[in-house]
Amino acid sequence: MDLKVRPIELDAAGKTIAIINNHDAKELGVRPMERIIITKGNKKMCVIINTTADRFVKRGEIIVYHEVREALKLKNSDIVHAKPRGALESKKYIKEKVRGKELEYKKYKAIIFDVIQRNLNDLEISSLITALEINGMTEQEVYDVTKIIVETGKRVNFKGAVVDKHSVGGVPGDKTTLMFVPIIAASGLTIPKTSSRSITSAAGTADRMEALAPVEFSISQIKKIVDKTGGCIVWGGAVDLAPADDLFIQIEHPLNLDPLFIPSIMSKKISMGSKYLVIDMPSGPDAKIKTGKDFDDISKKFLHIAHKFGIKTRCVMTDARQPLGRNIGPLLEAREALENIIMPKEKNLINKVIVLSNTLMKLAGRKENAMEIIESGLAEEKLREIIKYQGGNEDIKPEMLQPGKFRHEIRSKESGRVKYINIKTIAVKAKMCGAPDDKKAGIIMQKQLNDTVKKHETLYTLYSESRNKMNQAAKGDVGFIVK
């Protein structure tokens, strides 16, 4: 069927969508959400069809979103040819997974190909994600999917012995990476660290680092930085290493499901050429890893895949019973990392940094000691070098990083000792103050676990650029048990 193009000045968030008249859709034999192939000259594209009544799109017309117009170089009133897209094999495979079957390599390959080509729509990907979550994946399936995500993405080659760290997350105030990367790079290993921005937390590593330097770079820019300094701390989202993974995450996040977390993490390590890896698993009553059994189960899965891809890996259980260090929020966390790399003082932060760094260096056959690297000033020097090559101010001082202008102290109603800190409550309050979008929003903890507290003494202080947000955050349970 030939159709006359009407472009629309809207994008479809990366999806390839076109709109045709109900009657034309019927004639083509497609229903809304199904796909047609449109051809213009020697270019063709698979698009998802929306249909509409005559008053919006007349018969013989096709409205194309920005993405389609660009890809096919369409102008108003161009004529394109449309035909129905045949049935997708990958839809059958998704249904097999729904039925509880284990899928083999070539079926995942077909699925992931159709995800990348945008042949599968959100409904179908949502159904796949849900089926993977419920029915689980065998070790072979996790391996195959990881491999396919790598094969369909980019790979980068860095000089030297490439190492990495990954945290499964869950502890507020975790600025470990900002200290870990310079220590490791100072030891002579290569650590091209890509990090996420906050998805659900008060700050992601990319948000923290952004208080010190820009974090958005192309792969070739990252390669230049790392080849110069041995390390970087950049945002992974701009890198486009693994397009399949990015597309899965777009569906997983709103569903709050995460069945592909191992392929998602490991594929990026493989693409970056990591040979040694330490996985940080913060554990505590309110963290993702609650028990030793959780740690064992998840470690086993990581180690299995890492081994199959030849990445020497250690999993380390770390303490998530309270925020790490005293500062929470992008700018406050960057400041605390800077303070502690200049002069170690915050015990629970320093301990974690040292344990993780030494574990990784030992794994990679190094004899250096992390505490010595900090105390010698080499770590600070390396951090300033990375800041400089990422385009930040290498002479930055902690006192130049000042939090939001409104502050509010949360005080204890009891005297006694701090027996329990609810890390979720603390994280939520930091977010309510505006973190991570308000970089200056956050919390400073005056009291930590086992500290002695007097009645009316300050437990922690809220900071925000918005008095209103701060007042909201000040309400409700304080998240401390003092007795």
Q: In this complex, which beta carbon is closest to a second copy, that of residue 127 or of residue 422?
A: 127
Q: Where are the alpha helices (DSSP H) in 194-316?
A: 205-209, 219-229, 243-255, 261-271, 292-308
CA distance 249 to 197: 13
The site string for a second copy over 22-61 (x = CB under 8 A, - otherwise) reads ----xx-x-xxxx---------------xxxx-xxx----
11, 122, 227, 258: the catalytic one is 258
Determine if 253 is a binding residue for a second copy (CB under 8 A).
yes
Listed residue (311, 312, 315) closest to 299, CA to CA: 315
Query: 83 in helix, strand or coil?
Result: strand
Known catalytic residue at 258: yes
Please report where in the chains the tokens 């096709």 appear, as a residue. Answer: 62
Give the burial string for 105-143 (b: 16+ CB within 10 Å, else e). Answer: eebbbbbbbbbbebbbbeebbebbbbbbeeeebeeebbb
Q: How far is the CB of 63 from a second copy (least distance, A)?
A: 7
Determine if 425 is a binding residue for a second copy (CB under 8 A).
no
Determine if 466 is a binding residue for a second copy (CB under 8 A).
no
Write out the two tokens for 273. 């050429």
Q: In this complex, which beta carbon is closest to a second copy, that of residue 255 or of residue 343?
A: 255
Q: How far is the CB of 206 from a second copy (least distance, A)?
A: 15
Determine if 255 is a binding residue for a second copy (CB under 8 A).
yes
Neighbours of 295 (CB within 10 A): 17
Q: How far is the CB of 13 from a second copy (least distance, A)?
A: 5
CA distance 204 to 329: 9
Among 44, 58, 66, 407, binds a second copy (CB under 8 A): 66
Q: How far is the CB of 464 from a second copy (least distance, A)?
A: 14
The piece of 126-134, 141-149, 216-224, 474-482 that touches a second copy (CB under 8 A) is 126-134
Q: How far is the CB of 466 from a second copy (least distance, A)?
A: 11
Among 37, 161, 257, 428, binds a second copy (CB under 8 A): 257
Listed residue (401, 405, 416) closest to 327, CA to CA: 401
Q: How far from each other are the two terminal CA atoms of the chain, in whole angstroms?
A: 77
Determine if 95 is a binding residue for a second copy (CB under 8 A).
yes
- Contacting a second copy within 133-162 (CB under 8 A): 133-135
Q: In this complex, which beta carbon is closest to a second copy, that of residue 257 or of residue 342?
A: 257
Q: In this complex, which beta carbon is closest to a second copy, that of residue 79 or of residue 123?
A: 123
Among 41, 136, 254, 377, binds a second copy (CB under 8 A): 254
Whether 111 and 90 have beta carbons less than 8 Å apart is answered as yes
Determine if 19 is a binding residue for a second copy (CB under 8 A).
yes
CA distance 437 to 423: 20
Q: How far is the CB of 214 from a second copy (least distance, A)?
A: 18
Q: In this complex, which beta carbon is closest to a second copy, that of residue 237 or of residue 398?
A: 237
The site string for a second copy over 190-219 (x = CB under 8 A, - otherwise) reads ------------------------------
Q: In this complex, which beta carbon is closest to a second copy, that of residue 422 or of residue 466?
A: 466
Determine if 124 is a binding residue for a second copy (CB under 8 A).
yes
Q: How far is the CB of 435 from a second copy (least distance, A)?
A: 12
Determine if 91 is a binding residue for a second copy (CB under 8 A).
yes
Determine if 9 is a binding residue for a second copy (CB under 8 A).
yes
* Number of residues lying near a second copy (CB under 8 A): 46
Determine if 446 is a binding residue for a second copy (CB under 8 A).
no
- For residue 15, the one-letter residue type is K
Determine if 13 is a binding residue for a second copy (CB under 8 A).
yes
Among 126, 351, 369, 472, binds a second copy (CB under 8 A): 126
Q: How far is the CB of 56 from a second copy (least distance, A)?
A: 5
Among 100, 136, 365, 391, binds a second copy (CB under 8 A): 100
Query: 369 in helix, strand or coil?
Result: coil
Give the burial string for 331-361 (b: 16+ CB within 10 Å, else e). Answer: bbbbbbbbbbbeebebebbbebbbbbbbbbb
The piece of 116-124, 179-187, 322-330, 393-401 that touches a second copy (CB under 8 A) is 116-124
Neighbours of 157 (CB within 10 A): 8
Q: Which long-range contacts (CB under 8 A, 24 or more apart) does 454-457 make?
A: 454/412, 454/415, 455/412, 455/413, 455/414, 455/415, 456/411, 456/412, 457/411, 457/412
CA distance 373 to 364: 16
Contacts of 189 (CB under 8 A, 6+ apart): 160, 161, 162, 163, 230, 276, 360, 361, 364, 366
Contacts of 29 (CB under 8 A, 6+ apart): 84
Among 3, 12, 103, 341, binds a second copy (CB under 8 A): 12
Q: How far is the CB of 50 from a second copy (least distance, A)?
A: 6
Q: How many alpha carbons lie under 13 Å from residue 373 in its C-beta half-sphere?
A: 26
CA dihedral 170, 128, 32, 62 (to 10 degrees): 70
Annotated catalytic sites, by residue? 258
Binding site for a second copy (CB under 8 A): 8-13, 19, 26-27, 29, 31-34, 50-53, 55-57, 63, 66, 91, 95, 98, 100, 121-124, 126-127, 129-131, 133-135, 251, 253-257, 437
